[in-house]
Chains A and B, each alone.
Chain A
Amino acid sequence: MSNELLDIKKLETFFYTRAGIAKAVNGISLSVDKGEIVGIVGESGSGKSVTGFSIMGLVDPPGEIAGGSIKFKGEEIIGQTEEEWRSFRGAKVSMIFQDPMMTLNPVLRIDTQMIEAIRAHEKVSKKEARRRCVETLAMVGIPSPAERIKSYPHQFSGGMRQRVAIAIGLLNKPDLIIADEPTTALDVTIQGQILSEMQTLCRKTGMALIWITHDLTVIAGLAHKVAVMYAGKIIESGNVQEVLDEPLHPYTHGLIGSVPSRNKRGQPLYQIPGMTPSLINIPEGCSFRMRCPHADEICMKEPDETISDNGRMVRCHHPL
């Protein structure tokens, strides 16, 4: 029996816009084991959210999954019927979004929005559902949850709202939670609290977690594995500590260089030159070519994935 929960192979999600085809996710492969915490890191627009939405079957038109496979517990989920998707979402995999101010419905009470999430998947009485909701709110650190559950979203602070959203994600005890930058909109202390709470929750419940962020430091203390995305591709992945200590891809190296740290205090931060390429006209060859200090003629050819014995993957002709 394999320990593998999610297995993404050569996934392609394209947006067919008027300006052309935006290859937001361009052939990524990624696997998540049961109980594993995986970080996806990348600049804005690199395709992190679209990856999450693809797993949830929530890519809105003009976007579409154009190819590849996503297996959940060994079964293909791409091409499920709408009803299969519905019963999959929120029950087997949950997703939490970036902006806690926007994810809850402003005109419905919290209890309405929580109880319906349980009853969408299970035939339980409202009373029993409410009991479970209160319990879950307590678990994510909402004080006096039995009273607070009757509030409207605007009566909560941003941090509390994000906790409510996380609680909603946890309600049906999914095997996997996809957290799409859930703490970027919050201040640093709250960020830290939520992060460590999530980690504890995963350990306690055996739930797997995909944590999407553009902030490498967040991943460092949290995840087992990290995948670095650039222009719709995963350009490097592997054990978090190894990737951070010894990045193989020039882009990852640049990312680490641009993070302030104790032993580099006083030195200027490294800035990756240039900008993310437009996903509509990705240059031929390595997509990082224009910004890479090591680029040469070979890089005019698209590099393949190289996987080493210890499971580290890199897409570069001249790994560091």
Chain B
Amino acid sequence: MLAFLIRRISQSVMVLLVMSVLVFVGVFYIGNPIDILIAPDATPAEYARAVKELGLDKPMLDQYWIFLKDAVHGDLGNSFVYNEPALKLILQRMPATMELAVTAMLMAVFIGIPLGMLAGIKHDTMLGRSIMRFSILGFSLPTFWVGLMFIILFSVQLGWLPSGGRGTTVELLGVPVSFLTWDGIQHLILPAMNLALFKTSLAIRLSRAGVQENLQMDYVKFAKAKGLSNTRIIGLHVMKNIMIPVITVLGMEFGGLIAFAVVTETIFSWPGMGKLVIDSIGVLDRPVIVAYLLITVTMFIIINLLVDIIYSILDPRVRLGDHN
């Protein structure tokens, strides 16, 4: 276990390093932020001073080196726009994104898995086929389009739910959350559904395939031969077997959910880090873009590590370190 952790952490550091180079080179070439930041009528002297202040006069390699030295000390630079630490800006927005992503994931798990299992058990009925059609739609419709349709239908036409913002928040352990107020919940529903749609479809597919595959297995027939009821066979024997791959895949997808929140947050003006980074890209606020990407990758790495550990707990046949 310890050897496994050490190996994984050193791999992760390598990934982050490579990632930072790529990101740095990337933002360097998408444009010079000074043209956007400075007033168009600035004198050449003002212009030169601003460039020097932001450190943009140095060669790229020097800039990267300074960045790296600071990053090791937890300083990812100050935002050009807000003149505040980029890290702080992102961490401020993170709870909103996490709340959205976690809600969407819970929806995917608690709606997708039961629906998928149902579709697997009743695969040649109207119900089973309808569930599969729904999941095909969920897979193929683009998220931003579905989000817009949600707003048109539920906010504009029916007027049931608000179309943007977080609503009233309250502090939970010092972090503002929406899900504890009725107004907040109403604001959360549409964006969470929008974000959850793709993963729900994925959960449906995975659980349906899992159920169908497992129902063919000898252990199910043997369980029937013992005189077990169908409820117990599906609810315990099959369920436990399909949960392992389904939870693993969904867990891996959680990072993607955070990344995809960018689209949903923009549509529903959800004040999370995704919206922040889109705004920052608009004004070429390099430190915020770089910090966002590094933080997202770090979260990906942590999530995958946790999923691997959970997987080894769920499946008695797997010991950490055996697989890689």
Contacts and interface: CB of A to CB of B under 8 A. Distances in A.
B120 to A, nearest CB: 15
Contact of B227 (A89, A102, A106, A152): A89
Interface in B266-315: 314-315
Contact of A87 (B223, B227, B316): B227
B286 to A, nearest CB: 49
| Residue from B217, B315, B316 whose CB has the most chain A CB atoms within 10 Å | B316
A152 B317 contact: yes
A124 interface: no
Given A106-B317, A107-B316, A120 B222 contact: no
Interface string B222-256: 11111111001000110011001000000000000
Nearest to A94: B225
A120 B229 contact: yes
A58 B316 contact: no
Interface residues of A, number: 30
A108 B225 contact: no
A108 B228 contact: no
Contacts of A60: 221
Nearest to B221: A58
Contacts of A99: 218
Contacts of B222: 95, 97, 103-104, 165, 168
B244 A107 contact: yes
B28 interface: no
Interface range on chain B (Cβ under 8 Å from partner): 20 to 34
Given A107-B241, A107-B244, A107-B316, A90 B225 contact: yes
Nearest to B232: A116
B160 interface: no
A226 interface: no
A134 B219 CA distance: 21
Interface string A145-175: 0000000101000000000010010001000
Interface in B167-189: none
Nearest to A178: B225
A154 B315 CA distance: 11
Interface in A272-306: none
Contact of A116 (B221, B228, B240, B244): B228
Contacts of B244: 107
Contacts, number: 76
Interface in A156-202: 165, 168, 172
Interface string A98-117: 01001111111100000011
A172 B227 CA distance: 11
Nearest to A117: B226
B237 A56 contact: no
Contact of B237 (A89, A108, A152, A168): A108
A240 interface: no
Given A86-B229, A90-B227, A121-B227, A97 B221 contact: yes
Contact of B315 (A89, A103, A107): A107
Contacts of A58: 221, 224-225
Nearest to A52: B225
A121 B218 CA distance: 21
Contact of A104 (B219, B227, B240): B219
Contacts of B218: 97, 99, 102-103
Contacts of B241: 105-107
Contacts of B237: 105, 108
B238 to A, nearest CB: 9
A103 B240 CA distance: 16
Nearest to B244: A107
B317 A105 contact: no
B236 A108 contact: yes
A108 B316 CA distance: 8
Nearest to B240: A107
Given A152-B316, A152-B317, A154-B317, A106 B225 contact: no
A91 interface: yes
B224 A168 contact: no
Contacts of B240: 105, 107-108
B194 to A, nearest CB: 35
A165 B225 CA distance: 11
Nearest to A102: B218
26 contacts: A56-B225, A89-B224, A89-B226, A89-B227, A91-B227, A95-B222, A97-B218, A99-B218, A102-B217, A102-B218, A103-B219, A104-B219, A105-B237, A105-B241, A106-B317, A107-B241, A107-B244, A108-B236, A108-B240, A116-B232, A120-B232, A121-B227, A154-B317, A165-B222, A168-B226, A172-B227
Interface of A: 56, 58, 60, 86-91, 94-95, 97, 99, 102-109, 116-117, 120-121, 152, 154, 165, 168, 172
Given A89-B227, A103-B222, A106-B317, 10 more contacts: A58-B221, A90-B225, A102-B219, A104-B222, A106-B219, A107-B244, A108-B237, A116-B228, A120-B228, A120-B232
Name the 5 nearest CB pairs between A and B, nearest first. Answer: A90-B227, A102-B218, A90-B226, A117-B226, A103-B222
